[in-house]
Chain A
């Protein structure tokens, strides 16, 4: 009798445990998750137009514009399953001058997520799609107006502009525009890069109805200028083509880091 009660009790415990687990996440239900792209310069917050910074070559500079596309977001749960944000909902234009733009607001199945990956830029498929599929942040008459190369059909993936006293010509401005999706008819330079960040060390994202988890990323734009190529404002104040932009592209793959998750 005693044994039976133990068995019953453990059975009840087991049932209640599985109930609890079922209650915790229901993967058939979608809930909100935001991903914040917090632009910084080294250890300072990025201040457009006013902040003064220094690159690896000891050249002082200010940033007047910073915009980049984030697309094709994928999230991996702690159980290893992967959720791909539907393509049509997966394009975001991060604009430093518009703080609302710096959060990608997603709706994803409930669960605990340990990894996020995304493309910096606009994938080649969308880059070649019919103009009717280019709406929202991809509309060349609106948000994408200054993020599109009309002469060499394709989106600009990443754009940083500013001024430096070391640049003597052209009003002391620098402009680095990175694009190039690999070409439509002949294979050309591809500056599309996928970034994958592990969230487990600094906090997984626990997506559940009623909570508003936010994956807080730091985007250190100093790393777009410093890295495998230290961008020299004097010799290279401009990049307006896939080739010219490639050194910046190869640098900025290292500018994203996970700071923390607000669950």
Chain B
């Protein structure tokens, strides 16, 4: 009898194990930029990373987790928040970007100040306006907890929690946050019988002409930094310039992906636009000329992108095919 149950239990466990397939590149995506050779995604590492991602132990007063501002049902953004608030309701100056397809990112943050995903988590943990914790205290808290040392041992072979193991576990979770199952993807991969509507198809053509050089398929970003003609706000955030201190980088920000726009409003680095219409208004009529304005946004002394009402409707129809609802409810990525 005992053997019988043990047999069932073992089978069940194997079935669960087999569900985790590690990092899988979608067939219509390019090779990832991340260095998997020094951090291959394992079930144990991923699950540890997920637990850490949702654990407020990472913040100074144990109130805020990564998941507090990167909410799965908003495609891992802080939907509805122009900028996010950290512990003690301190406000930042930038809109929380999505944790999505980061394996293909060549840099992180709106200004690209971080060049390795493994180093990314240090920034929000130690930022005074965000989690305001010290890295050493995080490691100490984890080491002193009843659960984490054994989880680190399972994932990385030692119950002595190191900075590298901690950061790599978080990377493993974030690398698995892949959004690649939008209607657009199904059509590109020729899955089933799904196809674009006439508006979506025309929108796709218009998009390729007017938006696609920066928002490059299939990730809908070319990972570059560009000044898209936003009028600087009171904060006067100079973007990429803060990192490189090169004058040519003034007011440039990373080109964001356009996947999951339906769930990630507000838009732009400072969340100034609450709707897609406001974004399209900006590109069609409010682009401000400045020395570093992107050349693609100034054609013959006219700033912006010409868009008729009909074109806008069609482009929006196409953009809606980039929404991946399954990503929002993927249980594997949810708080355990």
CB of B123 within 8 A of CB of A150, answer yes
Interface flags, B113-124, vs A, CB<8A=1, else 0: 111101100110
Segment with Cβ contacts to A, from B56-64, B135-143, B288-296, B320-328: B135-143
Interface flags, B136-176, vs A, CB<8A=1, else 0: 10110000000000000000000000111011100000000
CB proximity to A under 8 Å, residues B266-306: none
CB of B135 within 8 A of CB of A141, answer yes
CB of B139 within 8 A of CB of A141, answer yes
Q: How far is the CB of B333 from chain A (nearest CB, A)?
A: 23
In the complex, what distance in Å separates the CA atom of A153 from the CA atom of B107?
11
In the complex, what distance in Å separates the CA atom of A155 from the CA atom of B243?
14
CB of B119 within 8 A of CB of A153, answer yes
- On chain A, the residues within 8 Å of B139 by CB distance are 141
Q: What is the interface size of chain A, counting residues whose CB is below 8 A from a CB of the partner? A: 25
CB proximity to A under 8 Å, residues B31-55: 35, 38
Instruction: Flag whether B242 is at the interface (Cβ < 8 A).
Output: yes
Interface-centre pick from B35, B126, B168, B242 (highest chain A CB count, 10 A): B126
In the complex, what distance in Å separates the CA atom of A121 from the CA atom of B135?
21
Residue of B134, B163, B244 touching A188 (CB-CB under 8 A): B244
CB of A152 within 8 A of CB of B243, answer yes
CB of A141 within 8 A of CB of B138, answer yes
Q: How far is the CB of B133 from chain A (nearest CB, A)?
A: 11
Binding site secondary structure of chain B: helix
B136 (CB) vs chain A CBs: closest residue: A141
Q: How far is the CB of B83 from chain A (nearest CB, A)?
A: 16
A interface residues (Cβ-Cβ under 8 A, vs B): 128, 130-132, 134-135, 139-142, 145, 148, 150-153, 183-186, 188-189, 241-243
- Pairs of residues from A and B, 6 with the lowest C-beta to C-beta distance, nearest first: A141-B135, A141-B163, A184-B115, A132-B164, A150-B123, A150-B122
Instruction: List 16 A-B pairs, Cβ < 8 Å.
Output: A131-B119, A140-B163, A141-B136, A141-B163, A142-B136, A150-B114, A150-B122, A151-B109, A151-B123, A152-B243, A153-B113, A153-B119, A185-B106, A186-B246, A188-B243, A188-B245
B interface residues (Cβ-Cβ under 8 A, vs A): 35, 38, 106-107, 109, 112-116, 118-119, 122-123, 126-127, 134-136, 138-139, 162-164, 166-168, 242-246, 249
Extra contacts, 13 of them, besides A135-B164, A153-B114 (Cβ < 8 A), are A128-B115, A130-B118, A130-B164, A131-B116, A131-B118, A140-B119, A141-B135, A141-B166, A150-B123, A152-B113, A152-B242, A153-B113, A185-B106
